Amino acid sequence: MMQRLRVAVETPQYAGLARALDYACPHHLPAGTLVRVPLGQRNIPGIVWAGAPDQEAAEARPLASLKPVAEVMQALPPLPPVWCDLVDFTARYYQRAVGEVALSVLPPELRKLDNAGLDKRLRLLAKRSGWAMPEPEGSLPPRRKSAKVQSSRPGPAEPAPPPPLPTLQPEQAQVLATLADAFEQAQPPCHLLHGVTGSGKTEVYLRAAQHALDLGRQALVLVPEINLTPQLEARFAERFPGRRLVSLHSGLTPAQRLANWLTAHLGHADLVLGTRLAVFCPLPRLGLIVVDEEHDPSYKQQDGARYSARDLAVYRAWLEKVPVVLGSATPSLESWQHAQTGRYKLLTMAQRVGQGELPKVRIVDMNLQPQPAPGQPAAPLSEPLLTAVRARVERGEQSLLFLNRRGFAPVLSCTACGWKSGCPHCSAWRVFHKLDRTLRCHHCSFTERVPKACPDCGNLDIQPVGRGTERLEEQVAELLQGLERPGGGAVRVARIDADTTRLKGALEQQLAAVHDGSVDVLIGTQMVTKGHDFRRVTLVAAVNPDSALFTADFRAPERLFATLMQAAGRAGRDAAAAASSEMWIQTWSPTHPLFTALRQHDFARFAASQLQEREMAALPPFSHLALLRCEARDAAVAEGFLRQARDMAQALLTEQAADGQVTFYAPVPPHVAKVAGLERRQMLIEASTRPGLQRLLAAWMPQLPALRGQHKGLARWAMDVDPLSI
């Protein structure tokens, strides 16, 4: 007898389709089962979803008129109920279709396979890995809560002996004792680990993971960026020989990502390391979640379902009743506020391992430095900073120069008519890359060769304006020319940014050169300022941090303080050289409170002042935001859509019971108003309570697709709940 099934399929938000679609199936399928179903002219992947079929839909379409399920993916056990709960919460909170979220977080290769192809992949993986195939119909048994639970993964015949463990510092031991107690609690709290750079947070993660593994559980460790995954993976692999460790991030090939995901889903992976998408990895024996550098904005997805992996990690830990650790030297102000109010449990490590000192912070007031002659470019390094760098080179130590702008120069300009290298498709400049002589837009990727003369007036004198890492590398090499390293030889300057690490293995190769001392001065963007353990670096300098200080975004000071604190943490990580380590900052605003707090490495002071300002201005975490964004060929179309959407929402507010105040701001262009030929506009919604905002969005969002047809030329729209930048 045919039965009605709810199936979540991937449909775009603007389609306005139901949360799950109804299909017919000759037998019952448990929720979480992967299937292929017809939609239009294609068979697409879907997931059987829990819950009763929509009564109105059932009356409108009798069972006999439903399309049947095309294929059941019997080779794979169903996704666990807690995974479905996590996806369902994500879809509801971030206002996306449940199928869109559910399918988008699965490996792309999995969505392409039929049952026969999946079965073949599983057999090859099982043969290569040495574990048994899962039963076709069943699913893995639920994780027992006893401390004697054993891994379903067959261990090696002769496990390798564990490496000798480093001696714990008193603060580390205290933190680990607190976490050990959390494993025994029925509902462990969320732990915020505030540890200064070099305090040994990674060792805490390793010991906590060992505790989870001893209980027969799995550990999930999230990192903000792909370039941090290989080195952390090496640390875990060294600590846990014989344990199966897999990584999940977009840098893997589709086949690697599918194999690692299947290994985790079937319970054969003991440790999973990954970027934000790994928060959705199904783990049947999950026992611990760690979010390293929890403040990092990379945890917030910026397209599609704009979820925060950090926040979802906290929610998933609550669902699964397992400990979660958010670690950072500079926690996000939201997490810090939760810790101050008792919602999170604050764990503090204020000392570096080996009692090493934090680097001394030196502020260079650029207003007091000699200015260049008219028509001459300004030197990239002030004289005091250049002297300090030279001294490091002569002592055989390393320096790191931080400039968060890649390319040679942000813009090319004509000295005669004022022409600038703007992008014809975006309201942004095309960046000059000297190495390949191109002008490249970093927003739409439009690239052209550098013109030989000004396109407007024909003037041959086209000059670079501003400075990127490529130009800084060239200028620093010139400034250090003639200086010899200890033992002889020219100074070696290297650059690490998105341009120099595009090829596979390039980042690992360049980092290895830094670690083995082949580099004297390292120049890079923020990708080298966090997570890396550069033992030879004793000087870190922020060349031009002011560009990130004065912006319209209220989070700019928080992000800059975190970046500079993380950058400072790369210096003096070897306790023997900690006393002479320094952080230099070149700024035109030396009296800014941010630099005052940074000089004292006083995050608590900085956070208190920022939270006080935000409370006075009713900004997060003292209010709750959503941002409705849209794009259209014509700016008037985008603004008209937002104004009509605002009128619709205000009408809904009058019908709902008041739960706090909701404010709608006028539609405005973002910082970059045009990208790839599309005009962008956004409208900010501010609410005093989270339930009030969520209730409005739940009633408002289903009505927005109907507006699309009334605004011809509207390309797309999306709701961003808890936006990171406005």
**Binding positions for Zn(2+):** 414, 417, 423, 426, 441, 444, 454, 457
Dist. CA 467–CA 525, nearest whole Å: 12
Strand 271-274 relative to strand 218-222, pairing: parallel
Dist. CA 699–CA 653, nearest whole Å: 10
CB 540 within 8 A of CB 400: yes
Which residues are documented as binding site?
414, 417, 423, 426, 441, 444, 454, 457
- How many angstroms separate the Cα of 725 from the Cα of each of 107, 134, 546, 620? 29, 45, 18, 12
Look at residues 286, 303, 313 and name the one whose alpha carbon lies nearest to residue 224: 313
SS3 170: helix
CB 146 within 8 A of CB 174: no
Dist. CA 389–CA 386, nearest whole Å: 5
Classify each residue of 585-607 as buried b or exposed e, where b means 16 or more C-beta atoms within 10 Å of its C-beta: bbbeebebebbbbbeebebeebb
Dist. CA 643–CA 447, nearest whole Å: 35
SS3 32: coil
Q: How many CB atoms lie within 10 A of CB 643?
A: 15
Look at residues 720, 717, 721, 697 and name the one whose alpha carbon lies nearest to residue 642: 717
Q: What is the DSSP letter of 377?
A: P
CB 88 within 8 A of CB 301: no
Look at residues 301, 372, 314, 324 and name the one whose alpha carbon lies nearest to residue 193: 324
Region for residue 644 given its phi and psi (left: phi exceeds 0; alpha: psi -120 to 50; beta: otherwise): alpha
Non-local (6+) Cβ contacts of 315 within 8 A are 86, 89
Looking at the chain, the number of H-run helices and the number of E-run strands are: 20, 28
Provide the CB-side half-sphere exposure for 513 (13 A, CA).
Answer: 15
Dist. CA 686–CA 697, nearest whole Å: 12
Dist. CA 492–CA 480, nearest whole Å: 9
Dist. CA 489–CA 504, nearest whole Å: 30
- How many angstroms separate the Cα of 687 from the Cα of each of 24, 85, 619, 659, 692? 42, 26, 10, 9, 7
Instruction: Work out whether the CA dihedral 463, 467, 472, 478 comes out positive or negative.
Output: positive
CA 164 to chain centre: 33
Amino acid at 126: A
Dist. CA 617–CA 614, nearest whole Å: 5
Dist. CA 328–CA 385, nearest whole Å: 29
Q: 280: buried, middle or exposed (CB in 10 Å: 19+, 13-18, 0-12)? A: buried
Joined together, the tokens standing for residue 44 give 């697409």
Look at residues 15, 6, 8 and name the one whose alpha carbon lies nearest to residue 702: 15
Joined together, the tokens standing for residue 304 give 């599609």
Dist. CA 350–CA 352, nearest whole Å: 7
